Structures are given as C-alpha cells and as structure tokens.
Amino acid sequence: MFRPVGGTPVPCLIEVERDVELQPDSYEATVIERGITVEAMVVEVGEPKRGDVFEAGGMSYTVRKIVENDGQFVKVVVNENHY
C-alpha cells in the first residue's frame, strides 16, 4: 500500500532492499552509510514525496528522499517502522 501525505492510499507492489550503501546528503568526502530502499512502479505511485509511506508485511516505510527515477521505476530511501 502507498499512502501519500494528504492523498488517497493506493495498492502497489514494492521491493524492499536492506543494507544498501548510501552516500549521506551534504558531504563532499566519500562517506557511506547503510540504509533501506524501496522500489515501486511509477505508474502505481507517481513520484513519492518526503513523508509519504509505503506499507508491506507489517512494516511501514517513510520516504526520506528519491534516489532514482527512470520513468518506469522509482527508488526511494526510507525509514523503517513497525505498525
């Protein structure tokens, strides 16, 4: 399920990837952190915004930022929460 902030929830399929190497914002040096990404089809969810939420398997994933959008799939960095 995709729940956009202030919008109508829509069903969607997502792929969750854990322990992804991410480069934090605002750093000029090579700094890596581990994080979680979610990938979904653009046709199902559009372009997610910060604060939007994906839900699957008893977990919710709050969007932090978009890392990739090729027009077909969008990949976002998320925070993971139990619900």
Reply yes or no on whether the pLDDT at 72 is more than 90.
yes
| pTM across the whole model | 0.83
Closest CA to 76 of 61, 59, 58: 61
pLDDT at 29 over 70: no
**What is the C-alpha to C-alpha distance for residues 61 and 38, in angstroms, rounded to an integer?**
8
Q: In the predicted model, what is the mean pLDDT of residues 3-30?
A: 85
pLDDT exceeds 90 at position 34: no
- Phi and psi at 73, nearest 5°, equal -125, 145
Buried b (16+ CB within 10 A) or exposed e, 10-30: eebebeeeeeeebeeeeeeee
